[in-house]
Amino acid sequence: MPFIKVYIHFVWSTKNREQSLVTKEIRQMVWQHIRENAREKGVFIDFINGYSDHCHCLVSLGVDQTIQKIMQLIKGESSFWINKHKIIEQKFEWQDEYFAVSVSESMIDKVRNYIKNQEEHHKTKTFEQEYDEFILKYGFEKFKDNQ
């Protein structure tokens, strides 16, 4: 049996960054559902939280799990569930893009605290500002449409 410990910090937004997850109660319900569904599918979510237009999720990858499969499972199933149960009034979708960065063992607690404090964090910073910081911090290239 292999012993693996690979943590990934995922961040993704609602479609067009709409403020769809407007209340703390809605967010708690969605995060709890994502956690329970992931557990049923053998995905270990260490920590999950977010704000009205995005989600942060710290996941420990299993031996046969890929970043793409994890995102498909979490985003696809949760948007289906939100719409099926009419958790919000309008049709709900997640944005296609997402961030996924590895987290070293020494930084796990710092990332957990960052995810935990999303409500407080976004009183002073928008998701757009956070997004731009992630782009810079992790050296991602921000592509713009040529339209």
pTM of the model: 0.89
pLDDT of residue 27: 97
* Structural domains of the chain in order of their starting residue, each with its CATH number: 6-138 (3.30.70.1290)
Spatial separation of the C-alpha atoms in residues 127 and 129, rounded to whole Å: 5
Residue 144 has pLDDT above 60, yes or no: no
Other residues' Cβ atoms within 10 Å of the Cβ of residue 56: 23
More confident residue, 86 or 146: 86
Distance CA 86, CA 146 (A): 36
- Model confidence at 72, in pLDDT bands (50, 70, 90)? very high
pLDDT band at 90 (very low <50, low <70, confident <90, very high): very high
User: What is d(CA 101, CA 58) in angstroms, rounded to the nearest whole number?
Assistant: 10
pLDDT band, very low/low/confident/very high, at 145 (cuts 50, 70, 90): low
Contacts of 90 (CB under 8 A, 6+ apart): 20
Q: What is the mean pLDDT of residues 67-86?
A: 97
Give yes or no for a contact between 56 and 118, defined as CB atoms under 8 angstroms apart: yes
Order the strands of the 54-61 sheet from edge to edge.
44-51, 54-61, 6-14, 94-103
Tens of pLDDT, residues 15-60: 999 999 999 999 999 999 999 999 999 999 999 999 999 999 999 9
Mean pLDDT confidence for 6-22: 96
Give residue 147's pLDDT. Answer: 42
The pLDDT tens digits for 114-138 are 999 998 888 888 888 888 888 888 8
Say what the pLDDT of residue 45 is: 98
